[in-house]
Amino acid sequence: MSSPESNSTDAAKRRAAVWAASQIEDGMAVGLGTGSTSALVIEEVGRRVAEGLRIKAIATSEASQKLALELKIPMSDFAHLPELDLTIDGADEVQEGTLYLIKGHGGALLREKIVAMASKKLIIAVDPRKLVKTLGAVFALPVEVVPFGYETTIKRLQDLGFESELRVTDDGKPYVTDGKHYIVHCKLPQVGFDAYEAAAKLKGTVGVVEHGLFLGMASKVVIGGLEGIEVLE
């Protein structure tokens, strides 16, 4: 049986997801995110498509692509759709007052960032648990790395001051992304943390493909609540 807390979190996610999906207009090219909140967005988009909404979409993961196709959402790719009007995605953390994000605990940060960068607008749908004072307060930062030499990449991330460990599956094997990379979880320092400085250090590390800091990218964050929604911009 699900707890009252998980019921209220699910309801909050759904409220945020439904509002975010309501921002899609007829004829738009849309990016579809990854994770449980994004799955609710995709469900709502599917419902609107069944009612006649005409869009084309690009998904940020194989899982979201599969769900979207099941719901008969017309899917495309960057060869046919070089620019997107709007992407809707979730986040692991949103830093209050900045709209800086940590993303990637669903393992999709690389495609999520590529899709977000190709979008005119990025709306992030979350429940209230995702709001933090400083990024890294709850979640480590996912960093996508090339499998070759990941041990030495982790060592260099540690030398840069990030306590780092490889993400593994329940059976102890490295977690592999859709892009066939590994994920390293890096703890972010909570005192004197500078998000742009951290992003530059991570980007400059050989072996790192991309990191889950999304800075200056979100146009709006919609937070679902018990009663309704709040939109930060």
Task: Report d(CA 96, CA 210) in Å as an integer.
Answer: 23
Catalytic residue among 93, 112, 144, 210: 112
Q: Is 91 in the site for ligand 5RP (CB under 6 A)?
A: yes
29 or 103, CB closer to ligand 5RP?
103
Q: Which residues contact 52 (CB under 8 A, 6 or more apart)?
A: none
From the CB of 16, what's the least distance to ligand 5RP, in Å? 9
Q: Interacting stretch for ligand 5RP, rule CB under 6 A, among 105-113, 179-187, 192-200, 222-230?
A: 105-113
106 or 207, CB closer to ligand 5RP?
106
85 or 93, CB closer to ligand 5RP?
93
Q: Is 103 in the site for ligand 5RP (CB under 6 A)?
A: yes
Binding mask 25-64 for ligand 5RP (x = CB under 6 A): --------xxxxxx--------------------------
From the CB of 142, what's the least distance to ligand 5RP, in Å? 7
Q: Interacting stretch for ligand 5RP, rule CB under 6 A, among 48-56, 97-105, 170-178, 189-197?
A: 97-105
Whether 51 sits among the annotated catalytic residues: the reply is no
Q: Is 181 in the site for ligand 5RP (CB under 6 A)?
A: no
Binding residues for ligand 5RP, rule CB under 6 A, total 18
State the catalytic residues: 112
